Homo-oligomer: A and B are copies of this chain.
């Protein structure tokens, strides 16, 4: 693995605190001249404290190495108290768990060999453990790999799709570690004061922490172009960035006006989801256009039958979700052509729910026109793979043909 170990040493304690620090139930970062401290509220009144230590507290004088044997929770709490001054803090009934660590920031040069051996998680990247980045990055590694493996093993996709595992996840690991270095430097730097005008300002720190949460929860991940990421028609849904996670958005079911978040309709079930933004169906010319598209889609050479079993007009490889720009009080979902509504729950309206507090405004927010049909193709892991206008159906065919096998080539496993 390529990379370094930083000089920062951190202690960690889990405990139920007795304290007069008013933000103890918030996630809090204290940046003091004594060092930094991060406090994270946990279950059952517990908090986890990450406490920056100095080397002298933890280096074993015999070996010159950092060792848990040379430290103790009491030592960590002593530093905590200084950093948190003038507030007091003590364990209410002892320290429940503790550890200490140095931060190694390294990334493996390869994540896979011959599309047959794959490594994930700590095996290919290490960095600061704060905020669960390790866990989150690892789960996203294996989630990214799993659906590709399944599609290949089922005979749906060409094995070449597996190459995108390394290209997507290694790029992310490098970005995460770059960011981790920058934020570690902020933590280790002294705060800006009148005596130290070059120090780290509060605003600078806050901005970095906000970016950090995008890394930790995965919303900042942006995969580059590949067989499964095609941004050619980005203009038709400007704010659904191809290569990023599908944005959360509440719609209402056309049939019963109940609200649903689009992510609840995008389970990790190994299928590509094709969101079909039909636009408004108020004008007759639009209905004609939509009916023609329905005929095209379900024709023998249409997208659905191409990847279906036995010539059916639905495919086990896709899930279709139809989103109409219409009002729940007026719109009759039976007007949507059958091919676009495999089930009543798959037809959504871009409207608020009956409380008026949820849903609505998605066309505008996503930058999608309500006067034409737009496809948003969401990968099995929830990332936007392609957006395209219905007029560019040829490109949609090409997109899928670049990694999916037509169904008449394969039999069910």
Asked if residues A256 and B41 are in contact (CB atoms below 8 Å), the reply is yes
Q: For A253, list chain B residues within 8 Å (CB).
A: 25
Asked if residues B22 and A334 are in contact (CB atoms below 8 Å), the reply is yes
Distance (whole angstroms) from the CB of A284 to the closest CB of chain B = 19
Distance (whole angstroms) from the CB of A150 to the closest CB of chain B = 27
Nearest residue, chain B, Cβ from A331: B22
Question: Is A412's CB within 8 Å of the partner chain B?
Answer: no
A26 to B332, CA, bound (A): 12
Q: 1/0 per position for A321-333, CB-CB distance to B under 8 A?
A: 0000000000011
Question: Is A20's CB within 8 Å of the partner chain B?
Answer: yes
Question: Is A357's CB within 8 Å of the partner chain B?
Answer: yes
Distance (whole angstroms) from the CB of A28 to the closest CB of chain B = 10
Q: For A26, list chain B residues within 8 Å (CB).
A: 255-257
Asked if residues B20 and A334 are in contact (CB atoms below 8 Å), the reply is yes
Q: For A25, list chain B residues within 8 Å (CB).
A: 253, 255-256, 344
Q: For A45, list chain B residues within 8 Å (CB).
A: 344
A9-50 contacts to B, CB under 8 A, are 20, 22, 24-26, 41, 45
> Total interface residues on A, using CB and 8 Å?
16
Distance (whole angstroms) from the CB of A291 to the closest CB of chain B = 17
A332 to B333, CA, bound (A): 51
A196 to B257, CA, bound (A): 33
A41 to B256, CA, bound (A): 9
A334 to B257, CA, bound (A): 44
A255 to B45, CA, bound (A): 11
Distance (whole angstroms) from the CB of A405 to the closest CB of chain B = 33
Q: For A255, list chain B residues within 8 Å (CB).
A: 24-26
Nearest residue, chain B, Cβ from A20: B334
A257 to B26, CA, bound (A): 8
Nearest residue, chain B, Cβ from A19: B334
Q: For A357, list chain B residues within 8 Å (CB).
A: 357
Asked if residues A333 and B22 are in contact (CB atoms below 8 Å), the reply is yes
- Report which of B22, B41, B256, B257 forms a contact with A332, defined as CB distance below 8 A: B22
A231-267 contacts to B, CB under 8 A, are 253, 255-257
A345-364 contacts to B, CB under 8 A, are 357
A332 to B24, CA, bound (A): 11
A257 to B257, CA, bound (A): 31
Distance (whole angstroms) from the CB of A155 to the closest CB of chain B = 31
Distance (whole angstroms) from the CB of A27 to the closest CB of chain B = 9
Distance (whole angstroms) from the CB of A258 to the closest CB of chain B = 8
A256 to B334, CA, bound (A): 47
Q: 1/0 per position for A140-159, CB-CB distance to B under 8 A?
A: 00000000000000000000
Q: For A24, list chain B residues within 8 Å (CB).
A: 255
A238 to B333, CA, bound (A): 44
Q: For A333, list chain B residues within 8 Å (CB).
A: 22
Nearest residue, chain B, Cβ from A26: B256
Distance (whole angstroms) from the CB of A340 to the closest CB of chain B = 16
A253 to B26, CA, bound (A): 11
Nearest residue, chain B, Cβ from A358: B357
Nearest residue, chain B, Cβ from A258: B25
A22 to B331, CA, bound (A): 9
A178 to B338, CA, bound (A): 47
A255 to B19, CA, bound (A): 13
Nearest residue, chain B, Cβ from A41: B256
A332 to B25, CA, bound (A): 12
Sample of 12 further A-B pairs with CB below 8 A, known A25-B253, A26-B257, A357-B357: A20-B334, A22-B332, A22-B333, A22-B334, A24-B255, A25-B255, A25-B256, A25-B344, A26-B255, A26-B256, A41-B256, A45-B344
Query: Nearest 4 A-B pairs (CB), nearest first?
Result: A25-B256, A25-B255, A22-B332, A26-B256
In the assembled complex, 15 residue pairs joining A and B whose CB atoms fall closer than 8 Å, in A order, are: A20-B334, A22-B332, A22-B333, A22-B334, A24-B255, A25-B253, A25-B255, A25-B256, A25-B344, A26-B255, A26-B256, A26-B257, A41-B256, A45-B344, A357-B357
